[in-house]
Amino acid sequence: MRTWFALILAPLLALADQSVSYATVAWSCAHQDSLALHLVHGAFFVAIVIGTFFAWNRWRETRSAHPPSEEAAARHFLAGMATASGALSMLVIVAMWVPVWLIAPCFA
């Protein structure tokens, strides 16, 4: 279970972050406050960091299986892919978060 969260749910959380932050822009523009946008990005980022940490930890645990069996190699591979998927999802959220720091919500 530790690998599946980062493998499947992390990219879905990155997409959900985009949808929720896009829906929050109207409120942020009306109130001239971008705090809600920062909270949305921060919450999704923290959730993905936690899931990716567990996948990375699983990847480290499965690295030293002696003797290496086919099942252990598959677990190690999936844990590595989950870690990479979580890291990419974190990068996507950071890329969407940077404009919130630089551009006002009502910039048009």
Place of tokens 């001239």: 32
In a domain, 108, yes or no: no
- Kindly report the pTM of this predicted structure: 0.90
Q: Is the alpha carbon torsion for 106, 48, 73, 64 positive or negative?
A: positive
Q: How far apart are CA 77 and CA 84, in angstroms?
A: 11
Is 8 part of a structural domain of the chain?
yes
Within a domain: 37: yes
Q: CB burial class (10 A; 0-12, 13-18, 19+) of residue 58?
A: buried
Q: List pLDDT tens digits, range 4-24.
A: 899 999 999 999 999 999 999
Q: How many domains does the chain have?
A: 1
Domain, as residue range, for 9: 2-102
Q: pLDDT band for position 65 (50/70/90)?
A: low
